[in-house]
Amino acid sequence: MNSAYTEFAAVYDELMSDIPYDLYVELIDEAVHGLDGKKVLDVGCGTGLLSLMLTKAGAMVDGIDLSEEMLSVARKRASAHHQEITFKRQLMQEINEREIYDAAVIPIDALNYVTDPQEVFQTFKNIYHALKPNGHLLFDVHSTYKTDEIFMEGPFTFDNGRIAYIWETFEGEADHDVYSEIAFFVKQESGLYKRFDEAHHQRTMPVFAYVEMLEKAGFTIERIFADWEDEPPTEESERIFFQVRK
């Protein structure tokens, strides 16, 4: 059970404000030829921001996540916007629905928290069965360049006046494996800072390894691109996107 995203849930959206979730909405909308009335599974939904955006675009959305703290934020967000979204605490490798969804999405390197390759394959198989015929899966992962080179350039620091962190990274025992220890400092109304610590473990694989697993699970690869651009990955790409079809 991953201990990541506990108290972090309260500050997650602020720290992730530069993520272009609207582009993910566009990608899914294009893949399914219009979101209106389509059923979408948001895997690793976090605080539900993408789920809400997909719902407002006309989709019917279910979201799953491992963190109950994240899901609590997601439920409050949906309620505040008067949207009906079903959120459930579940491991992505334990999805067990059958031919329900027009599309599934695993956004913002959530798949990299599944660090056992066999469980990654199990996730693909389960999502394949959860999709309707011709249903689509879209997801992104860290590149091996990012885990092996960029992450190893730490420690990283951040301070916006309200939230600060010190993020240390360590090479794992497996290939393309990274451990992160992050100390957060969040300013309180009193002016004092509250500290909390997070531990994260992520692992990625080369593009060809994902392709082999996806095809073995039954998917057809439609396109692979990088860094939010409609361009093929390069040796220094950081985020790899996959769009595949059942």
Give CA–CA dist 155/68, Å, rounded. 28
Token couple for 76: 């409050």
> Domain coordinates of the chain in residue numbers?
7-142+205-245, 145-203
pTM (predicted TM-score): 0.93
In tens, the pLDDT along 165-175 reads 999 999 999 99
How confident is the model at residue 2, as a pLDDT? 42
Fold of 7-142+205-245: Rossmann fold (3.40.50)
Length of the chain: 246
| Closest residue by Cα to residue 43 from 25, 14, 17, 65 | 65
CATH of 145-203, one of 2.102.10.10, 3.30.70.360, 2.20.25.110, 2.40.30.260: 2.20.25.110
Whether the pLDDT of residue 8 is over 80: the answer is no
Whether the pLDDT of residue 93 is over 90: the answer is yes
Give CA–CA dist 171/14, Å, rounded. 27
Q: What is the mean predicted confidence (pLDDT) over 207-212?
A: 98
In tens, the pLDDT along 22-73 reads 999 999 999 999 999 999 999 999 999 999 999 999 999 999 999 998 999 9
How confident is the model at residue 18, as a pLDDT? 86
Q: What is the mean predicted confidence (pLDDT) over 213-240?
A: 97
